[in-house]
Amino acid sequence: MTEQPGVVVTGVSGRMGQMLVREILAHDKLRLVGALERAGHDWVGRDLGEAMGAAALGIAVSDDALEVFAKAQAVIDFTAPAATVEFAALAAQARAVHVIGTTGMTEEDLQKIHVAARHAVIVRAGNMSLGVNLLTQVTKQVAAALDADWDIEIIEAHHNRKVDAPSGTALMLGEAAAEGRGVDLDEVSDRGRDGITGARKKGDIGFHAVRGGDIVGEHEVLFATGGERISIKHMASDRSLFARGALKAALWGQDKAPGEYDMLDVLGLKG
């Protein structure tokens, strides 16, 4: 690499958007070259640093994705599913590595991202932290070692502004548990019980979402059987760990062939 890769942050006024800006400005191998918000947002046209309540950065917040992506080697995107699907096509057109942290995507959204990955590197993960990605591997191993007499429940907790449930991380953990057990998650998933549900169905993987206050992100995988329980838990107390994972992915992707990757690839954890 001759020059530091230039990065654009989408959804720049958001919780993750602002955290990403701070982490990129402090990074010694990446430089910030653009900031994007949706059309009509009151940050558009303003200097990014000033909009964040700090010193001017000389970068105006834009609402023109293709124009800013054209200047970048990486686009880091923690926004919303509809925006991310649109950005995937535009980042591919600009041949920029697209790092996607957005959660709550449908199968149809994922299919469009798959199409965009024919022409560019896309790294997507419901959680960019080392701890959670390790937890997925541990969950897969434990699930593979236990039979269906062990009930698996996934409990997640997040802040009161989160719009999707179960969290992207909970779904990653559910996929890992299902893979370990050799079953299809779609066939065994049981989300948020309510009312006269009947007894628990053997083999199901349950999901439960807590929302409150400023919880950054907590995930527990519970394996329960007669007389004993195993609980494996990850607690995030600072969003910067997600941002740092995303920056690692942006750098990692620079010399990779077009395709879809995840944080296990980036962290070298794929078994």
Ligand X SMILES: O=C(O)C1=N[C@H](C(=O)O)C[C@H](O)C1
CB under 5 to 8 A by kind: which of ligand X, ligand NDP, none does 44 bind?
Answer: none
* Residue 160 known to bind ligand: no
Distance CA 34, CA 72 (A): 8
**Residue 38, CA distances (Å) to 12, 43, 60 in order:** 9, 9, 13
Distance CA 62, CA 72 (A): 14
Helix (H, G, I), strand (E, B) or coil at 200: coil
Closest residue to ligand NDP, judged by C-beta, is 14
Nearer to ligand X, 217 or 253 (CB): 217
Does 249 bind ligand NDP (CB under 6 A)? Our answer is no
CB under 5 to 8 A by kind: which of ligand NDP, ligand X, none does 34 bind?
Answer: none
Binding residue for ligand X, selected from 98, 158, 181, 208, defined by CB under 6 A: 158
Does 102 bind ligand X (CB under 6 A)? Our answer is no
Strand partners, 199: none
Distance CA 114, CA 122 (A): 9
Nearer to ligand X, 44 or 128 (CB): 128
Contact indicator for 73, 48 with CB cutoff of 8 Å = no
Strand partners, 214: none
Does 258 bind ligand NDP (CB under 6 A)? Our answer is no
Binding residue for ligand NDP, selected from 48, 69, 72, 78, defined by CB under 6 A: 78
Does 124 bind ligand X (CB under 6 A)? Our answer is no
The beta-strand segments (E) located in the chain are: 6-9, 31-36, 61-62, 74-77, 97-100, 121-124, 151-158, 189-191, 205-211, 217-225, 228-236, 259-261
Candidate ranges 44-52, 53-61, 109-117, 121-129; the one touching ligand NDP (CB under 6 A): 121-129
Does 125 bind ligand NDP (CB under 6 A)? Our answer is yes
CB under 5 to 8 A by kind: which of ligand NDP, ligand X, none does 99 bind?
Answer: none
Interface residues toward ligand X, by CB under 6 A: 103, 126-127, 158, 162, 167-169, 217
